[in-house]
Structure 1
Amino acid sequence: MQRIVRLLIGLTLSALALSAAAQQPIIYPAKGQSPERQRTDTAECQAWAQQTTGVNPVALAEHMANSPPPQEQQGRLLRGAGGGALFGTLIGGAAGGHWGEGAGIGALVGAMGSGMRMRREQQQASVQQAGMQQQASGQLSTYNRAVAACITGRGYTVE
């Protein structure tokens, strides 16, 4: 399960990186600007866009890459089963000396409860990760629109 969650997070980050690359404006020097002039204009427009929108694409990408990994899940099923077995043993013993049956039923119920909690936590982590990706994508889109507006004002064609 943990490997699946890590794989999903990796795929989400890859999708974010591809999305950011796909959203970058394509800039054409429509008035014959030199490559050096285009680099200078682009850098100045990127700085202006960052200042205007408050979005730093590098920091945003680093934040997404460094988001905390999901909690370790190893051993939770066993702990749930162990706790359930102990509880079941106590209940089974109190209900007429059925220690073994109580332990077995308790272990099963404890493991099932732990498994359900783990799935719910993983689903919540996936939803949270998707929300972070959507927010980052929106911020990058705003930043790229600002870059495009600035560079268009300097005589370039932007697609």
Structure 2
Amino acid sequence: MRIANPVRVSALLVGLMLAAGASAQQYVYPAKGQTPDQQKKDEGACHTWAVDQSKYDPTNPPQQAAAPPPPQGATPGSGVRGAARGAVAGEIINGDASSGAAVGAVAARGASRRQNAAAGQQQQAAASQQSQAGMSAYQKARGACLEGRGYTVK
């Protein structure tokens, strides 16, 4: 099984976030004949209120906590542990510990690389979900405020 290139996965996640942001745009219609100046004032007030309610500001999204990046490549020591396991298995199965050690080391390093890549992808996905949840809460609060002031929000 081949793991996707982490750079490509990151680019894909960024693209999905931008697409989600573009599709989540709200349209505001002055249903009670509000003037453009009044609409600007109301939208500004509702933005401030929505930020207070949702704790999310789309004009200044929170920086993601600096989690330590997952190790690139294999985890140190994985090859040694794999070699030891492979040597034992090779000796038991066909009496050849050296070839078993080589196979075990290669297999362990490959598994370690896949685990590290998967951990990085999971961290990126969690950060994306958190950002989307904040944006959703903000838009709900902003929409409620504007509707309360006589606007139609879609």
TM-score, normalization: structure 2?
A: 0.71
Distance 1:106 1:84 in 2: 9
Distance 2:70 2:19 in 1: 27
Is 1:133 aligned to residue 146 of structure 2? no
Identity of matched residues, %: 26
Match for residue 54 of structure 2? 53
Give the partner amino acid of 1:22.
S
In the alignment, is the contact (CA less than 8 A) between 1:55 and 1:140 conserved in 2? yes
- The alpha carbon displacement at 1:24 in A equals 3.0
1:38-87 Cα offsets, whole Å, 9 max, x none, are 22221221111001221122343x635x966954635x49x866x57997
| Change in 2 beyond 3 A, CA 1:147/1:86 | closer
Match for residue 98 of structure 1? none
Distance 1:53 1:85 in 2: 49
Match for residue 107 of structure 1? 102
The equivalences for 1:1-159 within 5 A come to: 4-60=5-61, 63=63, 70-71=69-70, 73-74=72-73, 76=74, 83=80, 104-159=99-154
| Change in 2 beyond 3 A, CA 1:115/1:24 | same
Unaligned runs of 5+ in 1: 96-100
Give the partner amino acid of 2:63.
H
In the alignment, is the contact (CA less than 8 A) between 1:87 and 1:103 conserved in 2? no
User: Which range is displaced more, 29-38 or 1-10?
Assistant: 1-10
| Change in 2 beyond 3 A, CA 1:107/1:150 | same
1:4-38 Cα offsets, whole Å, 9 max, x none, are 11221222122122212322321112223233332
Distance 1:68 1:153 in 2: 40
Name the count of aligned residue pairs.
Answer: 146
Q: SS of the residue aligned with 1:7?
A: helix
The structure whose residues are more often helix, as a share, is: 1
Unaligned runs of 5+ in 2: none
